[in-house]
Amino acid sequence: MPYELNDKIKSIDPYEPEPGSYRVRLDANESFLPPSDKVREAIRTAVDTIHFKRYPDPLAAELCAAAAAYYGVNAANVTAGNGSDELISVIFNAFVQKGDKIVTFAPDFSMYPFYGRLAECPVLTLPKRQDFNIDLAAAADTVNSENAGLVIFSNPCNPTSVGIPSGEIVRLIQSVRALVVLDEAYMDFYGDSLTARVEEFDNLIVLRTVSKAMGMAGIRLGFAVANPALTAAIRAAKSPYNVNAVTQAIGRAVFSDTDGIRHAVTLIKASRDMLLGELNRISKEIPGSLKPVAADANFVYTQAEEAECLFEALKKSGIIVRRFGNCLRITAGRNLENVELINAVERFYTSNR
């Protein structure tokens, strides 16, 4: 009998980052800054203490304590993951059962429907308003009337870069029976976090990561922050050695330089504001070209006339961004990278009409 793939794995669309090498990579919302000298030094010291022949601490206790101090919570509120991506998968496998409904929004992070499908849960995707805001009161009604088990969204949102004030999210958390998974991957840039308030809620898990503001996407490290009961469940459901010893050691070093993190966030926000300002200028000088959205994260989202042609033209000049239909998401880069991007966009719209 030939082996046959089941339907869910047959129909899964793998997450495929843009292949190929580009001079200017503004497609993955990474930081453009290297780790600070202080962090580099702390990493060298930490790596020397690793017991390579031993399995790592299954609960990454020292790392979670360092993260907890940074996020203003207790270590009993924190679970470390192999990227927050892994934690989304763990949470979807542990807190919903096959057939339970998961609610998310569009546009939002593409991995939510991906993991939802693998967990065999129908994913209800509620459209956002034209300005990319969410009517959270209406969403809460839908979550309850559909008897959904889980609602997940990013704040600020990837890909729109739009932030939602924490007060609105608190109202949602308090008015639904579902578990709310609040993905704060970009919260370092927005500064209206609910991470430190997880003890107030019995249905909130907040996700954080070192991949974006802290410039550490390569070590694969994220955190789930929740009350102790939810934390115990997440820890029980994860694989035992999910965060390797090298990442645990480097992760502790990252949290040792809080001034450095703050400084990096300031520089990245300045780059984002420069990028947004220039894209806004182009949208005024060349009517009908771009329509950038006010940005709260480290990237800018904009509607773009002839988005696909523009995307291809950028690639030809060695610049990669992300395209979502007629919109582009552009990560804030180094000054020269931003300038190259802006010149290429301007060139496209002036030579094209």
Using CB under 6 A as the criterion, which residues of the chain lie in contact with ligand PLP when the complex forms? 29, 83-85, 109, 154, 158, 183, 185, 209, 211, 217, 222
Q: Are 341 and 314 in contact (CB under 8 A)?
A: yes
Nearer to ligand PLP, 126 or 217 (CB): 217
Nearer to ligand PLP, 217 or 233 (CB): 217
Smallest gap from Cβ 154 to ligand PLP, in A, equals: 4
Smallest gap from Cβ 12 to ligand PLP, in A, equals: 18
Per-residue burial over 102-136, b if 16 or more Cβ lie within 10 Å, else e, is bbbbebbbebbbbbbbebebebbebebeeebebeb
Can you tell me whether residue 65 is helix, strand or coil? helix
Nearer to ligand PLP, 88 or 290 (CB): 88
Smallest gap from Cβ 297 to ligand PLP, in A, equals: 8
- Residue 177 has a CB neighbour count (10 Å cut-off) of 11
Distance CA 132, CA 129 (A): 5
Nearer to ligand PLP, 154 or 256 (CB): 154
Distance CA 213, CA 84 (A): 14
Q: Are 114 and 15 in contact (CB under 8 A)?
A: yes
Helix (H) or strand (E) holding 153: strand 150-154
Smallest gap from Cβ 236 to ligand PLP, in A, equals: 21
Work out the burial of residue 53: count CB atoms within 10 Å of its CB; fewer than 13 is exposed, 13-18 middle, 19 or more buried: exposed
Smallest gap from Cβ 204 to ligand PLP, in A, equals: 16
Q: Are 124 and 174 in contact (CB under 8 A)?
A: no
Nearer to ligand PLP, 77 or 209 (CB): 209
Nearer to ligand PLP, 173 or 216 (CB): 216
Q: Which amino acid is at 207?
A: L
Distance CA 176, CA 162 (A): 23
Residue 240: asked if its preceding bond is cis (omega within 30°), the reply is: no
Nearer to ligand PLP, 160 or 302 (CB): 160
Residue for token pair 């300038």? 339
Smallest gap from Cβ 343 to ligand PLP, in A, equals: 27
Smallest gap from Cβ 15 to ligand PLP, in A, equals: 11
Nearer to ligand PLP, 85 or 188 (CB): 85
Q: Are 227 and 220 in contact (CB under 8 A)?
A: no
Nearer to ligand PLP, 30 or 100 (CB): 30
Q: Would you tell me the crossing angle of helices 111-118 and 83-95 to the nearest 10 degrees? A: 40
| Closest residue to ligand PLP, based on beta-carbon distance | 83
- Residue 307 has a CB neighbour count (10 Å cut-off) of 17
Eight-class DSSP state of 321: -
Smallest gap from Cβ 172 to ligand PLP, in A, equals: 17
